[in-house]
Structure 1
């Protein structure tokens, strides 16, 4: 028989809103658009801890993740989770059977690979995008947080105007976050498209010479400040998606020793 030291009273009685596990990596399968994709995501799972409890049963959180993963691996394709947020909610539902709490959060970070066609040679390039999904359940309320991180390019319009059409270009990194109700149907790839279409040009893993030329021409035809990129992402996002929107764009400047940043939120 084991002694449940977690159930003892702590010396300092202070409630903790978030206690759990972080940086846990495991396998996950998602039935995304009729195809099964395998991810190696990183999980953070937390619940609240009452002031009269010394600790939580950490193994029960890990067990809930493992059970959700095992179900996806063993069951038929049609029963595999269809989104990362559905997987996160499945983990919370299992925690509810194993550990008392009032609030639970599951965060999943992974990389989404999308097929892109290069602009000139029309070859397929497989592009990585960092994504994060969080599901937060408190009482009868379930919220989700969707985040995407996209790399693009910008060409400076100020230098172009003042330097006879010549300008400096740089890589820019944009993040789009949406906080919304769990029932809202928002696809991560749609968020990625909104962000990627707002740069001077997208970036590509694979580029033949004709593609490189096409990207450079596109950037020079579409010069933008980092402020322009942030505003365009924000305008498109609030029109297309329902929820709280946060946009953050960082330009890794090519002619300065510092970077520049622009943000917007509602």
Structure 2
């Protein structure tokens, strides 16, 4: 007959006393069904982190299996939304009565979305890296949503230099000649006519927003759509020639330094009245060997720091 097995976390003395801010597990493999507004429930493969604090100074440790089992229930029998996350956080606390009074869950996953082409009517899949962090402290739950949006940025300085070269080439070609529209039109369609093009690069906007503690549903799709609409040049999924041409036009009409992109995103986040936000713009330069970076925060007391 099996005897009671020892629980060292409960019975063994701590080697050294002291409170700990967070104790738990990281890199937990956790597929689950994610729910968000305007999105059919979708199965994602996440990596999870699960923590409680340890405020009992002489406790040996926490019961990590209890955190794992609460997440497993979320994975196998529920869908991930604000309500089920709140239940899991509550389980973290109640299963560590006397040990912990704070808990946190972090999910990192890629959210696949169907995205339409610019003109051709085609569609394809794009995946958006998401981090969802939920914390309970003093019986108040807070949610933090981070998303990465990839886009193309064309350098305004490079565009101006390219235009100057085209003007110089035009002067050399048509110096003191009587011009006809046909000649100029044909010349503009040659590589000699467009003698230079501005440089552009793949860029990423990392955006983190604090959600209202009373939110009853996540709204990831709207945040992504808002950011892409403001940037104008998100990278595409399905692309035909007409889509590629429209993408080139959008790049030419939306020249931006990293500072421009940061200010555009900051303004749109202000308009959405998030209680707090943090953003980092990364332009992965095609001219330089280094990157161009801009960072901004809302600037509230006790909020995110740049």
- What TM-score results when the alignment is normalised by the length of structure 1? 0.90
| CA RMSD of superposed structures (Å) | 1.7
Q: Which residue of 1 aligns with 2:152?
A: 153
In terms of Rg, which structure is larger? Answer: 2
Residue in structure 2 matching 1:231, options 263, 279, 288: 263
Q: Indicate which of 13, 23, 45 corresponds to 2:17.
A: 13
1:25 aligns with 2:29: yes
CA distance in 2 between partners of 1:13 and 1:121 (Å): 66
Q: Does 1:220 align with 2:252?
A: yes
Contact 1:154 1:200 in 2 (8 A): no
C-alpha distance in 1 between matches for 2:115 and 2:39: 19
Q: Which has the higher contact order (CA 8 A, sep 6+)?
A: 2
TM-score by length of 2: 0.79
Alpha-carbon shift at residue 162 of structure 1 (Å)? 2.6
What's the secondary structure of 1:94's corresponding residue?
helix
Aligned equivalent of 2:5: 2
Which of 99, 120, 140 is the equivalent residue of 2:96? 99
The answer to whether the 8 A contact 2:39-2:221 is kept is no
Alpha carbons 1:176, 1:191 under 8 Å: kept = no
The alignment status of 1:195 with 2:195, answered yes or no, reads: no
Q: Tell me the residue number matched to 1:122.
A: 121
More strand by percentage = 1
Instruction: Identify the range of structure 1 (201-210 vs 146-155) with the bigger mean alpha-carbon deviation.
Output: 201-210
Aligned equivalent of 2:297: 265
SS state at 1:29 partner:
strand
- Counterpart contact for 2:131–2:146, Cα < 8 Å: yes
Tell me, yes or no, if the aligned pair for 1:251 and 1:261 is still in contact at 8 Å.
yes
Q: What CA deviation, in whole Å up to 9, does each residue of 1:120-153 have, x standing for no partner?
A: 2111121110111111101222111111111101
Cα contact 1:108–1:133 (8 A) shared by 2: yes
The reply to whether residue 108 of structure 1 matches residue 107 of structure 2 is yes
Say yes or no: does 1:37 pair with 2:42. yes
Aligned-partner SS, 1:158:
helix
User: Unmatched 5+ residue regions in structure 2?
Assistant: 165-196, 299-306
